[in-house]
Chains A and B, each alone.
Chain A
Amino acid sequence: MASAQTMFDKIWQRHAIAAEQDETLLYVARCLIHEGSSHTFDRMGKEGRKTAEPDKVFAFSDHYVPTTNQRNGIGAIGDPKIRNMVEMLTANCRKYGIRHFNMGDPDQGILHVAGPEQGVSIPGIVLVGADSHTATHGAFGNLSFGAGASEIYHIMVTQTLWQRKPKAMRIRVDHRLPFGVAAKDVILAIIAKIGHGGASGHIIEYAGEALTSMTMEQRMTVCNMSIEAGGRAGMVAPDDETFAYVHGRAYAPKGADWDSALAHWKTLPSDDGAVFDAEVTLDGAEVAPMVTWGINPEHALPITGRVPSPDAGRDAATKTEIADALEYMDLKPGAALDDIAIDRVFIGSCTNSRIEDLRAAAEVAKLGKAKIPAWIVPGSATIKRNAEAEGLDRVFTAAGFEWRDPGCSLCTAINGDMLRPGERCASTSNRNFKGRQGLGGRTHLVSPAMAAAAAITGKLTDVRKLAKGA
């Protein structure tokens, strides 16, 4: 009898072409790129290479596109270096025969938002993206991970990639989440527990009732930040929720293919008794709304907590890091997190820019008026249209929030959207690194509801209290 396998083992085995010592040559069923893939194209041009299977490569204009006045077109992007990034991707996709979800395309969006929307992300496959948050797509029950320019180059010219097989970690979150607690809080609680490098060398399979009871969008939020826990990939076993999401999407299997796909995908979940190299368990019922106070995502605490002291560091290096974080963030040890005044709010990014995120934020926005500048940046043109059809844009604008065009925007801060030095932002994005949202900018990572709450109070706020008081 074959031994029990993890979902990861099954997908890995199914895509293994050959092995050489400790490395496996994997077949890459889908590859996602964006404007930042310029180094890859430069090398292809220099070496005169062609794309091996261009129909399996999908490109998205997201990192460099403006989030205002997109209707004026690429030519209207003011900064010539930024405009050039979008123009280069446009030219390269034409040259190499790649489907490009470009600015102005009705299906354009952030690669990790628009990819799933278009049915590019399906269960069972190996999907590699030119971006570390490619882990997002693992929510569909596949092996999805990010890679640098050299590895993407290798995929573009061979549709394969050499990898050493990572270890597998299972993170089980038992029980359902309490009122006011979002998928974002779950992943922040996980990272706070295992650390920013806690899953390095591993892929993560998420399991437990908290995960199985989540929608696909919520699972994507959890898988998205696997990289912030050090895991290169995150995945959730596909189930009826997954199949219902994928069914009928543009690039998803159709007709008879759909039936065979479903039969195969139902065999993917980890077998009973499959052994993981590491196991982590959390009680979902104990998770509270989370907020980061420092300079990497492990610096996260429940909103009811206080800023830690450097003395809390477990070793000299960590004490130094906490002291540095407090200096950069201009925070004092012992300060209550819900007393921290905020200058700006950003609701968007591949972590939290989907329609359910916007609905959660809108529910809170209805409770007041934004006291500080607050941006809503939908993850795709489709989400923007759907939100407008539901009237969410009007809820936001009535509450003083700014309704913008889709893109990565203030998460990666390279399209011109950025914080000013010293500005403090409650952000639904994924990284609170120094300077991530702009030189000298200070980031507090939160869920969409928590971000909207900060907008209407002007400080970090426990959304549970706000909602109860309504």
Chain B
Amino acid sequence: MQPFTTLTAAAAPFDQPNIDTNQLCPTRFNKVPLGAPEYPKILFHDQRFNPDGSEKREFVLNKTPYREAQIIVADRNWGGGSSRESAVYALMAFGIRAVVASSFGDIHRNNCLKNGVLPVILPNEICVALRQQIHERQGAQISIDLEKQTVTAPDGDVHRFDIPAVPKKCLLQGLDDVGRTQQFQPEIEAFRARYRKELPFQAMPAAG
């Protein structure tokens, strides 16, 4: 996983609440293998492109200063819906490394954390204020410091955010979970033996 430490970049505003993962990655792209050349075009595909493949000019990510955005500032309930991790791969392929919102779909948030995309939760009024600034000055930059857990707005205001300790460490160091889990192999073995003994009817599916 690519580590996340600090990021200063242009941010794109998404004013509507409830942007679901179907919009981030329309379902028909779920089967596209990671790294395929069309991946950068998947994010918001059906809102970014006309049926003939030309860009829809009015869509936020097609406007010049936001094309380079590495941060999205959204509203509430970003990434609800389907568990498709392709929604995160699509964000990454476009170049997005962080999403600021007042709440996230739980599965999508986990998927972001497992791929080095930072989900930042800030109160809705701060999200609204940040979006206003990046609307007014298109291309204005936002700075995120994960170690310090701060977001610095274009106007210089600093907002602190919460993030649980373990995902923070994993993001800062680019660690993935399997390595971490393997250190608990003795505990896993002991648990498995106990579970089999105490709850055999749950431990082993019947023969079928």
Contact = CB atoms under 8 A, between A and B. Distances in A.
Interface of A: 14, 17-18, 20-23, 25, 27, 29-30, 36, 38-39, 42, 49, 55-56, 64, 81-82, 84-85, 99, 118-120, 122, 124-125, 130-132, 145-151, 153-154, 157-160, 162, 164, 166, 195-197, 200-201, 227-228, 230, 232, 250-254, 257-258, 260-261, 264, 295-296, 298, 316-318, 320-321, 324, 412-414, 431, 433-436, 439
Contact of B16 (A150, A250, A324): A324
Contacts of B192: 27, 159
Nearest to A295: B18
A49 B187 CA distance: 20
B201 A257 contact: yes
Nearest to A14: B199
B196 to A, nearest CB: 11
Given A131-B83, A433-B23, A120 B205 contact: yes
A251 B181 contact: no
Contact of A230 (B80, B85, B115, B165): B80
Contacts of A195: 77
Nearest to B31: A85
24 contacts: A25-B188, A27-B188, A27-B191, A39-B34, A122-B202, A125-B202, A132-B83, A132-B107, A148-B84, A148-B114, A162-B177, A166-B106, A201-B103, A258-B201, A260-B200, A264-B201, A317-B16, A317-B76, A317-B128, A412-B27, A413-B28, A414-B27, A431-B82, A436-B27
B15 A56 contact: no
B107 A147 contact: yes
A160 B188 contact: yes
A151 B106 contact: no
Interface string B1-36: 000000000000001111010110011101101100
A196 B27 contact: no
B166 A146 contact: no
Contacts of B106: 166, 200-201, 230, 232
Interface residues of B, number: 62
Nearest to B204: A55
Contact of B82 (A132, A159, A201, A317): A132
B188 A150 contact: no
Contact of A17 (B82, B177, B187): B187
A317 B15 contact: yes
B208 interface: yes
B22 A118 contact: no
Contacts of A412: 27
B208 A118 contact: yes
Contacts of A151: 110-111, 114
A29 B199 CA distance: 11
A164 to B, nearest CB: 6
Most chain A beta carbons < 10 A, residue from B15, B16, B103? B16
Nearest to B191: A17
B181 A158 contact: yes
A157 B178 contact: yes
B154 interface: no
A150 B192 CA distance: 22
Contacts of B15: 316-317, 320
Contact of B164 (A23, A125, A197, A258): A23
Contacts of A122: 202
Contacts of A264: 199, 201-202
B158 interface: no
B181 A39 contact: no
B203 interface: yes
Interface of B: 15-18, 20, 22-23, 26-28, 30-31, 33-34, 46, 51, 75-77, 80-86, 88, 103-108, 110-111, 114-115, 128, 164-166, 176-178, 180-182, 184, 187-188, 191-192, 195, 199-206, 208
Given A200-B103, A200-B104, A158 B84 contact: no
B27 A413 contact: yes
A439 B47 CA distance: 10
B30 A29 contact: no
Nearest 7 A/B pairs, CB to CB: A197-B77, A148-B85, A253-B201, A150-B114, A148-B111, A261-B201, A149-B85
B173 to A, nearest CB: 14
Given A39-B34, A250-B206, A257-B201, A158 B178 contact: yes
A168 to B, nearest CB: 14
B18 A298 contact: yes
B114 A321 contact: no
A321 B15 CA distance: 9
A261 B202 contact: yes
Most chain B beta carbons < 10 A, residue from A197, A264, A316? A197
B198 to A, nearest CB: 9
A250 to B, nearest CB: 5
Given A148-B114, A162-B166, A298-B18, A29 B202 contact: yes
A258 B202 CA distance: 10
Contact of A25 (B181, B203, B205): B181
B102 to A, nearest CB: 9
Nearest to A84: B31
Contacts of A261: 201-202
A42 B76 CA distance: 33
Given A42-B34, A148-B110, 11 more contacts: A17-B188, A17-B191, A119-B205, A124-B199, A158-B188, A200-B103, A253-B201, A257-B206, A412-B27, A413-B27, A433-B81
A39 B29 CA distance: 12
Contacts of A251: 205-206, 208
A132 B84 CA distance: 8
B184 A17 contact: yes
Contact of B208 (A18, A64, A99, A132): A99
